[in-house]
Structures are given as structure tokens and as C-alpha cells.
Amino acid sequence: MKRFLSKTWAKLTAFFLTLVFSVMTALGAVGIGVLASSNVFLDGGAALRKSLYEEYCMRAIYSANDFLHDTLANTGLLAGDGTPDDSGTDNWDPIEEEQRQVL
């Protein structure tokens, strides 16, 4: 072991690894400081839960609407040519919908 520690390359490798891990630790601390200063994840995830719940509700509403529309169209109770109208439901974007609601 004593012979191994007297090698210059082993000392340089140990110094380099110490330097790398020290820099990574300092950058991690800076990153935590930035996240804490912008209040990211300090609200317990309430905003994230709310947005996920709203998106889930909107998708459930659109799925129910599509199901009812298709069922009524296939039984002939819906006015029109009897073919399901899928335009506008395939490319639904919750972010765009939320922006329209804000405006």
C-alpha cells in the first residue's frame, strides 16, 4: 500500500477526484439555493396536483363526450350523416385550453 501511495499518478488521480466531487457538491448547493429562492416544490406540490387533476377532469369530460356522440351517431339519434365527428378532439392541448380560459 505504501508503494502505491508513493506513485505520482495515484496522488494526481486522488486530487483530481477530490476536486471533481468538491465542485459537484458546490454546484448542487447552488442549484438547491436557486430552487429554494424561486419557491420550486416548497408548496408541497399543490400546484402540480391541481394542474394534474384539472387535466384528468378535462380528459374525462372529453372522453365521455366522444363516447356519447359516437353512441348517438351510431344509433341514428344524432342529427347529421351518422358518421362520428372526430375533428378537434385528437389534437387537444391542455396548455392551449388553459391559455384560452385565462384570456
Over residues 60-89, the mean pLDDT reads 75
Separate counts of helices (H) and strands (E) for the chain: 4, 0
The number of C-alpha atoms within 13 Å of 84 and in the hemisphere containing its C-beta is 14
| 92 vs 103: CA distance, rounded Å | 18
**pLDDT tens sequence across 6-32:** 788 888 999 999 999 999 999 999 998
What pLDDT score does 57 carry? 92
> Using alpha carbons only, what angle is made at residue 101 by residues 99 and 103, rounded to the nearest 5 degrees?
70
Answer yes or no: are the C-beta atoms of 77 and 69 closer than 8 Å: no
Greater confidence (48 vs 61) lies with 61
Over residues 58-73, the mean pLDDT reads 90
